C-alpha cells in the first residue's frame, strides 16, 4: 500500500512539474518581446533568400548559423555575417525575455529548445536545419 501511495505521489509530482513547465506562455507579449519580434520580422525579409539558397540554416540551439557562405556573392557575405550575428543576438534576448515575462528566468533553456523545434517545424521545404547528425535539408 505504501508503495502504491509512494508511486502515486511520484507520478503526481512528475505531472505537476510537467504541468508547471507547460504553463510557460510562449505567446506572452511585452514591449521588449514585441520590439524583438519586430526587429526579427524586419530582418526576415533579408534572411529569407539566404535560407532558400542554403547559405544559412537553423541550429539545434534555436539560433541560426552560416552553413555555406559560398552560396552568397562576395559582396553580401559581410552583411550576411552581420545579419546572422544580429538575428542571434535578438533570438538570445527573446528567449531570455519570454522566460522573464513568465516570471521564471530559469526556464530560458527549455524555452530555447522548444523554440528550436518550432523554428524547424515552421521552416519551408528546402531550408537547412541542424540535428544530431549535422545539417539536414527540410
Partner 1 sequence: MSLSYAIVVTDTYLQVFIHLKAILMQPLAKWIGFCWLMLACISAHAVSQVSISADRIEHPQFDAQQVKLALTLNKSPILQIKTQVKAKADKDWAQLNVNCQVSTKIQTGRWDCTQGQFKTSRIDIPFDLQISRLYTQGVPDVIAGIHFKNAKYGDEAGLHAIEQFTGDLNINAKQQGEAWLWQTTVDWQKGEVFWQPFYVAEGGHKFTAKGRYENDLLSFDTTRLTMAKVGELALEGQLRTSDLKLINLKANLPSLNLATAYPLLFKPLLEKTAFNNAEMEGKVSLKVDIQDSEVKTFDLLLNDVNVADNNQKFAFYKLNAHIPWSYDTPQNVSLNYESGELLDMPLGNTAVKAEVNRYAVTTPNIRLPILDGALNLSDVSAARVGGQWVWHLRAEIEPISMAELSTSLKLPRMEGLASAAIPLVTYNNGKVTTDGNIQLKLFNGVTTISQLTLQDPLGNTPKLNADIIMRNLDLGDLTRTFSFGAIEGKLDADIANLQLQNWKPVNFDAAIKSSPGKYPKKISQRAVENISALGGAGAAAAVQRSVLRFFEEFNYEKIGLNCKLRNDICYMSGVESTAQGYVIVKGRGIPAITVMGYNQTVGWADLIGRLKRVTDSNSKPIIK
Contacts to partner 1 by CB under 8 A: 29-32, 34-36, 39, 66, 68-72, 74-75, 77-78, 81-82, 85, 90, 93, 97
Residue placing its CB nearer to partner 1 in the complex, 92 or 113 = 92
CB of 93 to partner 1, least distance (A): 6
With cell 534572411, the residue in question is: 47
Sheet holding 134-137, edge to edge: 64-66, 56-58, 128-131, 134-137
Taking the least distance from each CB to partner 1, the nearer of 77 and 138 is: 77
Q: Least distance in Å: CB of 9 to partner 1? A: 33
Amino acid at each position: 500500500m505504501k508503495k502504491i501511495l509512494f508511486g502515486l505521489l511520484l507520478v503526481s509530482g512528475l505531472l505537476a512539474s510537467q504541468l508547471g513547465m507547460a504553463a510557460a506562455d510562449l505567446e506572452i507579449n511585452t514591449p521588449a518581446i514585441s520590439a524583438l519580434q519586430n526587429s526579427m520580422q524586419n530582418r526576415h525579409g533579408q534572411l529569407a533568400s539566404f535560407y532558400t539558397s542554403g547559405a544559412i540554416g537553423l541550429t539545434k540551439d534555436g539560433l541560426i548559423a552560416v552553413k555555406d557562405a559560398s552560396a552568397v556573392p562576395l559582396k553580401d557575405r559581410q552583411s550576411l555575417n552581420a545579419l546572422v550575428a544580429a538575428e542571434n543576438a535578438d533570438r538570445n534576448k527573446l528567449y531570455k525575455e519570454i522566460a522573464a515575462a513568465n516570471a521564471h528566468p530559469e526556464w530560458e533553456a527549455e524555452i530555447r529548445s522548444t523554440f528550436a523545434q518550432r523554428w524547424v517545424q515552421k521552416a519551408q521545404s528546402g531550408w537547412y536545419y541542424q540535428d544530431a547528425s549535422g545539417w539536414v535539408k527540410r
